[in-house]
Structure 1
Amino acid sequence: MPGRTREQHNRMETIQVPDTLAGAAKKGIDYKWVVLSITTIEMFMVSVNGSITLISLPAIFNGINIDPLTSFQYLIWVLMGYSLVTATLLLSCGRLSDMYGRVKLYNLGFAIFTVGSILLFLTPDKGSAGALEIIVFRLVQGVGASFTFSNSAAILTDAFPPDERGKALGLNTISFLSGQFVGLILGGVLAFYNWRYVFLVSVPVGILGTVWAYLKLRETPLPRRARKIDVWGNITFVAGLTTFLIGITYALLQYGTDPMGWGNPWVILAIATGLLLLAVFPIIESRVEDPMFRLNLFKIRVFSLANTAGFLSALARGGMFFILILMLQGIWLPLHGYSYESTPFWAGIFMLPLTAGFVVMGPLSGWLSDKYGSRWFATSGLLLIALSFMILAALPYDFDYPIFAIALLIMGIGNGMFGSPNIASIMNAVPPEDRGVASGMRSMLQNSGMVISMALFFTIVIVSLTHLFPPELATSLASAGAPGLVAPMSTIPPTGALFAAFLGYNPVHTILISLPLSTVAAISPATITILTGTTWFPTTLAHAFMPSLRISFYIGALLSVIAAVLASMTGSRFVHELQGKEGEKAGKSPETVEDTGLDITG
């Protein structure tokens, strides 16, 4: 083109994108609501699937005839395998979406997730084979979720103007949190009839959403730019993150006589190899022609700080939800007369203040951040999360529920204040043609933080139980008048005891049934009543469990405070389309457009 270099031409195309999008919005004003409805269905379905699986695990494991005292490895993979796959693939999916179309790959992900749900419903085998099939089919769902997660925020950002994006993302968050609530209720009801119904419930929603998405969603026109698949970047990142997360996962499993696998040579090799590959990855990305991980995006202050705050927030809260459910199911609910079989359902009910806080503040903070910027909403939300962690750390194991509920409500409000404004600030900060990869980078960092958080919290809890549970068990048995049971009861792995309680089983019953009749006959009926009641085992477990729980809460509070400091440094509201002259044309004052000190359109 005469008078212009190729680089200048590309920059001109990039600058014209907002005008194109604005024109499309005027011609089809209702399209943005179609986009919101489709992404809402997807978020609702994925959320229901997560909470309904968590609550229904006792029925699922019982349905496939798995012993809870020996099923820890299956439990870990059912819980963490899905997150591992999504964390690994999100970055690649985001890049592929920018190359081949966000809507196209989003729709494909919707369909794959639905197929995974159908396969889970049809799980043919029982025992270990059935558990492995459930794990594999959950991984299939994870692949589908990777395509939808990496594109949902980008598609919403494309469809909504800058002054409505926070509101749209907030409403999208509501669907996710509503799905968690519905999943808790449906899980308790459907699991009572048949564990397969737990997976079937996602199928009609998935089919409806997939068909509607294929019919209604349309690609947003973006500047044409020659892109290549980053082969070495993909290989290095996927292999590095997968190896690292698998190593961390297996470090939580027993190795020989050691209750954890941190001394397993294969675990050490996997973690070291993963870290090495992840260290090489940014070097490769800084040298390849068209990287999938846009390191230059981190030169945008808002993008860099908001993503780091999001990662630290995920690291703080990723394992929190599960640890709180462990405390409720394994300790507090049995102490208050709830049978072990009913604790999974009631744990979900008693966690509802957390969801309520999300539901209230998610859309409200998104709407307000559209008007006033996200910095102080995100910062205040993280500080509230830190406060809730400190309140939870101060509670005894037999706490008063109203105080616990207030702490959960504060945490929910804090997460609602942080979530959608932080996502909006990230997506607003990048050029339109990079929203797919930016959304993938954001989702990858968040999901990686969640997986690492679960592994971190699990490690803290298991290390504590390993050292404190055996002496607490011996002391408690002696106090109950059954010192002769110390040896046979010591065969209970601390992790097995904890997760048996989580799955709705009292491990004491299992141990007593396995003992010789002569041994059981030597124990007085009064002592057996104490041991098999709803208070003896939870009290014994609590003394070994609570110290690790408090450490986890303190770590969560510290990470939240650090994230709050980073969020406070993001500056005033920054929207990439309104940068510089475009901001003046849109009537924005200079104060609303943050100067990043970097021209990223070239």
Structure 2
Amino acid sequence: MVQYKWIALSNTSLGVFMGFMNANIVLISLPAIFRGIDVNPFTSFQYLLWVLFGYSIVSAILVVNIGRISDIFGRVRMYNLGFAIFTIGSILLYITPGTGSIAALQLIIYRIIQGIGGAFLMANSAAVLSEAFPPNQRGFALGLNGVIGIFGGIAGIILGGILASIYWRDVFLVSVPIGIAGTIWSYKSLKQLTPPNRNQSVDVIGNILYAIALILILVGITYGILPYGSSATGWTNPYVIASISSGVALFLVFLYVETKVKDPMFRIDLFKVRAFTMASLAIFFAQIAFGGLQLMLVLLLQAIWLPLHGIPYSQAPFWAGVYLLPLLAGFGIMGSIAGRLSDKYGARVLATVGLVILGAGLLGLTSLPYDFNYIIFATIIFIMGVGNGLFVSPNMASLINAAPPQHRGSASGIRAMLTNTGSTLSIGLFFTIVIDVLYLNLPGTLTSALTAVGAPQLAPIMAKIPPTAALFAAFLGYNPVKTILSQLPASIVNSIPSSVLATITGKYWFPTVIAPAFMDSLKIAFYFSATLVFIAAVISALRGRTVIYERDMMKTSDPK
């Protein structure tokens, strides 16, 4: 008979495979999706942000609540529910009925439903695994689980490229059979090994305060990226300032309330364990540093490198995913190895070295020109993937092992919340740095380039285009110059010589013009990111000895 731990590993791996696959399918297929619903890329970047961020924001808000509720009512039951909700969200995305902005809003709502299902899965998968595997095998199990997720990401890139070229709705349908199979299989095969403590009450006040606080913070970060008035970003928008400051204030109130209630949802007592605290902080800082990196590399490839190497804008999203496979491969190769090593040697050295490698890779990216040699680029991102794999599995095992068995749903929820919140904050910071630097440098650069090429009449128009719009147009697979020209009066377009039009709408002119300013902005972002990674490495090194709760702390007082 198959041991239960392998059943748990295979089922949770199916969940993480589906999650990673879905994330990359959506990322690769966004051009086809936005063309399919007929949305203009220059007026749709707020929709694009919410299609990208809605899932992670909702997951970040819910995972701690769900983790705590799962400790009370049963992790397996909540995990099963996650599969079902995710599948329902996928079906709704497939049948999205509208077009234009209405369809974009529908997609956002249905992605949020997917995010709710994803939160149930994320909050409980690590806890289900930690119950099924003994302490000396948890690193291996969590690492292998992550590696299978990477395979899901690779499958998402390939399937996204294929399905998006056939019919945009199919990119959502592919998750449905996996979701149905996972729902049935988890319902029939998973067992609740740690009895839920139903004598505890649900922390209603804490849940409400936490949800409102995190919604305000993450929504503020999202709208901080968008233009406001004459500013390239919205950080001076009074609503953004009020949203983030109110969210932070409410979060502080929430933390105070959690010290007073009998059964808190956010178990602050877990942070009394040094290994848990340092693992949590390392996750947060590393995720801020790394969470937005893949999106920035996708933009670099789609907006500049791929067009310069002859790839049409319409095909660039798919090829960007293909050219980033070394990053996933590095993580996949090292993830399971690092998890097994952490079971034997502990997490401190492995996770710390992994972060140092990741930081060195970020510094390596700053040395690249915009028309870089792909072999060098692939080597750097592969090494970064190795560093990330060396960090993630041991650090996650360290965090879960340090928590009491009956509170591992809460611990897993805290980990997922820190991951998703850090990722959203990371994307906001990366975009802010890139957009602000482009806002300062790009208008003058475009004016000079248009005058030199023989289209000075376009300079005042192009100089007013927000960098956000130009970047997102390229991200969605549109030629930014062609898209701008399509919206101008025919009299202006007809005044430009045909040879000049052919030059500025070709694959090479816009990437060449924007590249120096874009690379300057990316270098600043990479230096900032490397600094955060090295801070995370110091935190990781300070975690102390490996703590396995069942072995080291059963004789001490247990957080109640």
TM range (shorter): over 0.9
Query: C-alpha offsets along residues 336-365 of structure 1, whole Å, 9 cap, x if unaligned?
Result: 111111100100010010011011101011
Matched to 2:64, the amino acid is L
Structure 1 residue 514 displacement after superposition: 3.3
Query: C-alpha offsets along residues 163-219 of structure 1, whole Å, 9 cap, x if unaligned?
Result: 111111111001111111110010110000100000000000100011000010111
Structure 1 residue 82 displacement after superposition: 0.8
Structure 1 residue 394 displacement after superposition: 1.3
Structure 1 residue 493 displacement after superposition: 2.1
Structure 1 residue aligned with 2:33: 60
Are 1:105 and 2:78 an aligned pair?
A: yes
**Which of 422, 425, 429 is residue 402 of structure 2 equivalent to?**
429
Structure 2 residue aligned with 1:155: 128
Structure 1 residue 85 displacement after superposition: 0.3
TM-score by length of 2: 0.98
Cα distance between partner residues in 2 of 1:156 and 1:107? 14
Structure 2 residue aligned with 1:561: 534
Are 1:137 and 2:110 an aligned pair?
A: yes
Structure 1 residue aligned with 2:213: 240
Structure 2 residue aligned with 1:600: 558
**Which of 403, 413, 428 is residue 440 of structure 1 equivalent to?**
413
Cα distance between partner residues in 1 of 2:554 and 2:427? 46
Are 1:50 and 2:23 an aligned pair?
A: yes
Cα distance between partner residues in 2 of 1:254 and 1:380? 39
Cα distance between partner residues in 2 of 1:551 and 1:88? 30
**Which of 525, 540, 552 is residue 525 of structure 2 equivalent to?**
552
Are 1:221 and 2:221 an aligned pair?
A: no
Are 1:77 and 2:50 an aligned pair?
A: yes
Structure 2 residue aligned with 1:354: 327
Matched to 2:21, the amino acid is V
Structure 1 residue aligned with 2:443: 470
Structure 2 residue aligned with 1:587: none
Query: C-alpha offsets along residues 506-557 of structure 1, whole Å, 9 cap, x if unaligned?
Result: 1211233333444333322322221011111011221221122111111111
Cα distance between partner residues in 1 of 2:186 and 2:291? 30
For structure 2, which runs of at least 5 residues remain unmatched after alignment?
none
**Which of 336, 340, 343 is residue 316 of structure 2 equivalent to?**
343
Alignment of 1:322-341 (within 5 A): 322-341=295-314
**Which of 373, 380, 383 is residue 353 of structure 2 equivalent to?**
380
Change (3 A) 1:601 1:340: closer
Structure 1 residue 29 displacement after superposition: 6.2
Look up the SS of the partner of 2:486 in the other structure: helix
Q: Is the 8 A contact 2:194 2:405 kept in 1?
A: no
Q: Is the 8 A contact 1:472 1:543 kept in 2?
A: no
Look up the SS of the partner of 1:399 in the other structure: coil
Look up the SS of the partner of 1:514 in the other structure: coil
Query: C-alpha offsets along residues 367-418 of structure 1, whole Å, 9 cap, x if unaligned?
Result: 1111111111101100010011000011111111111101100110001101
Look up the SS of the partner of 2:547 in the other structure: coil
Cα distance between partner residues in 2 of 1:580 and 1:71? 53
Look up the SS of the partner of 2:266 in the other structure: coil
**Which of 281, 284, 292 is residue 257 of structure 2 equivalent to?**
284
Q: Is the 8 A contact 1:465 1:495 kept in 2?
A: no
Matched to 2:71, the amino acid is D
Q: Is the 8 A contact 2:444 2:463 kept in 1?
A: no
Structure 1 residue 226 displacement after superposition: 2.5
Q: Is the 8 A contact 1:385 1:410 kept in 2?
A: yes
Q: Is the 8 A contact 2:194 2:406 kept in 1?
A: no
Are 1:402 and 2:375 an aligned pair?
A: yes
Structure 1 residue 580 displacement after superposition: 6.1
Are 1:33 and 2:6 an aligned pair?
A: yes
Structure 2 residue aligned with 1:588: none
Structure 1 residue aligned with 2:151: 178
Structure 1 residue 601 displacement after superposition: 5.6
Alignment of 1:119-130 (within 5 A): 119-130=92-103
Query: C-alpha offsets along residues 457-506 of structure 1, whole Å, 9 cap, x if unaligned?
Result: 11111111211111111011122122122123234222111110111111
**Which of 489, 502, 506 is residue 529 of structure 1 equivalent to?**
502
Q: Is the 8 A contact 2:73 2:196 kept in 1?
A: no
Look up the SS of the partner of 1:144 in the other structure: helix
Q: Is the 8 A contact 1:313 1:559 kept in 2?
A: yes
Structure 1 residue 145 displacement after superposition: 0.7
Cα distance between partner residues in 2 of 1:512 and 1:228? 61
Count of matched residue positions in the alignment of Structure 1 and Structure 2:
560
Query: C-alpha offsets along residues 10-64 of structure 1, whole Å, 9 cap, x if unaligned?
Result: xxxxxxxxxxxxxxxxxx8611100011101100011111000000000000000
**Which of 76, 79, 94 is residue 67 of structure 2 equivalent to?**
94
Matched to 1:43, the amino acid is V
Matched to 1:71, the amino acid is S
Structure 1 residue 297 displacement after superposition: 0.8
Structure 1 residue 241 displacement after superposition: 0.6
Structure 1 residue 223 displacement after superposition: 7.3
Cα distance between partner residues in 2 of 1:488 and 1:249? 27
Look up the SS of the partner of 2:366 in the other structure: helix
TM-score by length of 1: 0.91
Matched to 1:473, the amino acid is L
Cα distance between partner residues in 2 of 1:580 and 1:192? 55
Cα distance between partner residues in 2 of 1:160 and 1:517? 68
Structure 1 residue 235 displacement after superposition: 1.1
Q: Is the 8 A contact 2:258 2:266 kept in 1?
A: yes
Structure 2 residue aligned with 1:496: 469
Structure 2 residue aligned with 1:230: 203
Matched to 1:270, the amino acid is S
Q: Is the 8 A contact 1:222 1:432 kept in 2?
A: no
Query: C-alpha offsets along residues 290-312 of structure 1, whole Å, 9 cap, x if unaligned?
Result: 11111111110100001100111
Structure 1 residue 572 displacement after superposition: 2.6
Cα distance between partner residues in 2 of 1:108 and 1:530? 54
Are 1:578 and 2:551 an aligned pair?
A: yes
Are 1:389 and 2:362 an aligned pair?
A: yes
Cα distance between partner residues in 2 of 1:85 and 1:275? 17
**Which of 258, 269, 285 is residue 296 of structure 1 equivalent to?**
269
Q: Identity of aligned pairs, percent?
A: 52
Change (3 A) 1:557 1:220: same
Cα distance between partner residues in 1 of 2:104 and 2:319? 25
Change (3 A) 1:223 1:79: closer
Structure whose alpha-carbon radius of gyration is higher = 1
| Greater displacement, 532-541 / 103-112 | 532-541
Q: Is the 8 A contact 2:25 2:171 kept in 1?
A: yes
Look up the SS of the partner of 2:195 in the other structure: coil
Cα distance between partner residues in 1 of 2:86 and 2:474? 30
Are 1:263 and 2:236 an aligned pair?
A: yes
For structure 1, which runs of at least 5 residues remain unmatched after alignment?
1-27, 583-597
Cα distance between partner residues in 2 of 1:274 and 1:518? 50
Cα distance between partner residues in 2 of 1:449 and 1:420? 17
- After superposition, the CA RMSD in angstroms is 1.5
Structure 2 residue aligned with 1:272: 245
| Greater displacement, 557-566 / 523-532 | 523-532
| Greater displacement, 70-79 / 543-552 | 543-552
Cα distance between partner residues in 2 of 1:94 and 1:84? 16
